[in-house]
Structure 1
Amino acid sequence: MAHDEVVRRYSGLARAALTGETVVDCATDEFGEGHFGTAGYDDTSGLPGGALRASLGCGNPVAVAELRAGETVLDLGSGGGIDVLLSARRVGPYGKAYGLDASPDMIELARRNAAEAGAANVEFLHGTIEDIPLPGRTVDVIISNCVVNLSDDKAAVLSEAFRVLRPGGRLGISDVVTDGDTDPVRRAAAERRVGCEAGALSVPEYRDLLRATGFVGATIVLTADHGDGVHSAIVRAAKPAIGPGLEIRPMRDSDAEQVLAIYQLGLDTGQASFETTAPSWAGFTANRPANLRHVAVDTETGDVVAWVAASPVSSRPVYAGVVEHSIYVHPGCQAHGIGRSLLAAFIAASEEAGVWTIQSGIFPENAASLSLHQALGFRVVGTRERMGRHHGAWRDVLLIERRSAVAGA
């Protein structure tokens, strides 16, 4: 279903709700039996009747997101405002709850419900979930209730969610997904039956998209089964945490010049590698998969201040989950915890990609790198003596590795 059709459909439902009707956005029997609407909530006491009548979700994202007092939360596709009002209770008077919806009628309905509830810490925004009208890094938590599946550009939705979340921010949504090998025709019919006209992502597709966007710690838990491979699900993920003024995201081709410059600065110290000259960008990316390359950037200037990347150690299937990594921090940005945050995010991303062993080699003299890695679970497994000559001297190399307790367990 195209965007304009979605807006028209839900605007019509909002107008019906404004006149006092209870509305549904899928087959009536499916709505009641599939835990849609208010059936997914534990406690809706004290909420305006208008918010309850227009509840069209497939779960309880407010509970999923584990909201805390003082946080700022954004509901993507807020409809009549039920999740915004529940969120406002959770975050308290020093927190803020935003609702975003593309339907002007839904915004009118939600604002009316908020006024009736006396909620002073809420704000409803008119706009699309593919182009969120908020500055970057302003939200602690993003929730959504059975709305992302309605978008025909889900990559843009998750990219925007990542943009507006603060580092360490959380994504906790209810959505519709597909699972299994059901006949496509029957699956499409089931999606239409539950109101998912744009087509739901499969569980693997959802995981891959979250990872490609830069989210870590993704979990997808199936809840209600709507038949023919279609399920409601709880989707959780996080934006990597790092200190103020910084952000961790996937490496882009546009980062090439700065990444290679930091690489060369590290090589110039004589303690980073046997290499003396950074490769070309084509050489750098040739054996380093895109999903295992991340950067830390200055959010004010956009400058890259550190990078981490990895490459498979072998093409043999038995080594599919073993990679060798490198991490470089700009000399002017060291000793600020950047490397630790970046390496922690990389470890989480690598585990989600099925990596069970991360390994590398470190010169014994590079005490800072050894300390960083040991703090995050790497251990020295051996020493390769007189491994090679570097600037006219023989150098030993410490072999380090980290075994995942998650991937490959």
Structure 2
Amino acid sequence: MKTSATLKKLVQEKYSKIAHQENPSCCGSKDENQEVYHMMSDDYTKIEGYQATADLGLGCGLPTQFAQIQKGDTVIDLGSGAGNDCFIARHETGESGKVIGIDFTEAMIHKARINAEKLGLNNVEFRQGDIEDMPVSDNLADVIVSNCVLNLVPDKEKVIREIYRCLKPGGHFSISDIVLAGELPEALKTDAEMYAGCVSGAIQKNDYISNIKEAGFIDLVIQKEKPILLPDSMLNRYMDAEQKALFKSGETGIFSITVFARKPGIKPLKSLSNAIGNPSNQFTPGAASGCC
């Protein structure tokens, strides 16, 4: 079993290479089979604040679309990469707000800072650091966002506690991530990482939700959920017909979820109906919509 330090080193090496690629694909995968990549990524291009040069195609959702960012807010983006979600957040928070991007990889921080300088954004800052021990003070952020990052972190519970520490009372987060439902063959999870990335570190959805609740967050809502439908060419290597049927039905599988939750406090908040987003865009297999 790889140690936490080894896993972090692998992440740094992997994302340093991605930062220097001209056309990276999802989580660094360059396999000829792009079906998984297209299932994981969402289309950012029509969202205000989007910057194509900062979009490395590494996400699995659109957390900023659901994050209820208001003018003047302080926003933190965990695993900020080349800065795309930060620049979208900056569009929402305006000149009176502040956006801080945190990333573990020096090459990503360098790339993001160049992008911010080209855009002339003086209230967007990028800090290199470990999101298990964030380089920010207590009760700083109104909103925290993250896109397909917690699955890469060995100690997810610690990150969630750090999110709680860094949010102001009444502050909230909107995080997109990869989770699992049911038990998948270990070999499949390994192979899925080669195709899509970000899968082998994912945990069960129920455990993910429990970690958030146990940290003290309230008003938890799954804002969006979609299945990652792996191609038959991959499934056939590891699953019999019954396992494939379960996987395709949504009872067992890999999912991208966007989760909203709030730190207790008195900060005014928009209605939760707005936080949930457009119900027509949600995928809620099984008990997803009622789990919280």
**What is the CA distance between 1:193 and its match in structure 2?**
2.8
Q: Is residue 146–residue 174 contact of structure 1 (8 Å, CA) maintained in 2? A: yes
Query: Which sits farther off after the overlay, 220-229 or 143-152?
Result: 220-229
Identity %, equivalent residues: 36
Q: Write out aligned runs for 1:3-402 (5 A).
A: 3-16=8-21, 21-24=22-25, 25-26=28-29, 27=31, 29-30=34-35, 32-36=37-41, 39-43=42-46, 47-52=50-55, 54-196=56-198, 198-220=200-222, 221-227=224-230, 228=247, 229-242=253-266
Letter in 2 for 1:238: R
Task: Give me the TM-score of the superposition, normalised by structure 1.
Answer: 0.55
**What is the CA distance between 1:192 and its match in structure 2?**
4.5
From the two aligned structures, give the one with the greater strand fraction: 1
For residues 106-125 of structure 1, give each alpha carbon's deviation from its aligned partner in whole angstroms, at most 9, with x where no partner exists: 00100111111222220000
Distance 1:12 1:186 in 2: 24
Q: Secondary structure at the match of 1:40?
A: coil
Q: Any gaps of 5 or more consecutive residues in structure 1? A: 244-405
Distance 1:133 1:230 in 2: 31
Letter in 2 for 1:22: N
Distance 1:197 1:4 in 2: 17
Letter in 2 for 1:203: K
Specify whether residues 43 and 407 from structure 1 end up closer, same or farther in structure 2 by C-alpha distance, changes over 3 A only.
closer
- Larger Cα Rg: Structure 1 or Structure 2? 1
Letter in 1 for 2:119: A
Q: Is residue 75–residue 83 contact of structure 1 (8 Å, CA) maintained in 2? A: yes
- CA RMSD in angstroms comes to 2.3
Q: Is residue 67–residue 87 contact of structure 1 (8 Å, CA) maintained in 2? A: yes
Q: Is residue 36–residue 228 contact of structure 2 (8 Å, CA) maintained in 1? A: no
Letter in 2 for 1:87: A
Q: Is residue 97–residue 123 contact of structure 2 (8 Å, CA) maintained in 1? A: yes
Q: Secondary structure at the match of 1:134?
A: coil
Q: How many residues align?
A: 239
Q: Is residue 55–residue 82 contact of structure 1 (8 Å, CA) maintained in 2? A: no
Letter in 1 for 2:13: R
**What is the CA distance between 1:40 and its match in structure 2?**
2.8
Distance 1:153 1:49 in 2: 31
Q: Secondary structure at the match of 1:160?
A: helix
Distance 1:193 1:152 in 2: 21
Q: Secondary structure at the match of 2:161?
A: helix
Distance 2:218 2:122 in 1: 33
Higher relative contact order (CA 8 A, sep 6+): 2
Q: Secondary structure at the match of 1:110?
A: helix
Distance 2:65 2:130 in 1: 24
